[in-house]
């Protein structure tokens, strides 16, 4: 009986640790206002300014084709799928360069 209880406690602790490491998914739609090697600044359609981290693993697409991260330039309209604890502390997993959507 004690063994089952110990196993149950270990399972609960493992599940709690896994959920503590979980991140939220975010989709940001807007215009790049500035681009640096490690982050982009995006003004969302709601007018909110967001800094989103990018790294070597961030995928950048235009017309469903992969393009260089150097294509992330001010003035470009983007849809960003990001992961993080908060939207302010998120990492872009994928950035799609798209034509500006009508408001």
Instruction: Give residue-wise pLDDT tens across range 74-88.
Output: 999 999 999 998 988
Q: Are strands 59-62 and 90-97 parallel, antiparallel or unpaired?
A: parallel
pLDDT of the residue at 9: 66
One of 2.30.30.60, 2.40.50.320, 3.30.1330.120, 3.40.640.10 is the CATH number of 24-97, namely 2.40.50.320
Model pTM?
0.75
Which residue carries 């270990």 as its tokens? 10
Instruction: Give the Cα separation of 25 and 101 in Å (integer).
Output: 22
Percentage of the chain exceeding pLDDT 70: 81
Domain ranges across the chain: 24-97
CB neighbours of 24 closer than 8 A, spacing ≥ 6?
A: 83, 84, 85, 86
């Amino acid at each position: 009986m004690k063994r089952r209880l110990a196993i149950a406690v270990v399972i609960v602790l493992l599940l709690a640790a896994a959920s503590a490491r979980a991140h939220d998914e975010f989709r940001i739609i807007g215009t790049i206002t500035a681009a640096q090697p490690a982050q982009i600044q995006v003004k969302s359609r709601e007018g909110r300014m967001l800094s989103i981290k990018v790294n070597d693993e961030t995928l950048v697409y235009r017309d469903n084709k992969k393009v260089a991260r150097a294509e992330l330039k001010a003035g470009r309209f983007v849809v960003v799928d990001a992961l993080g604890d908060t939207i302010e502390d998120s990492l872009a997993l994928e950035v799609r360069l798209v034509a500006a959507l009508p408001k």
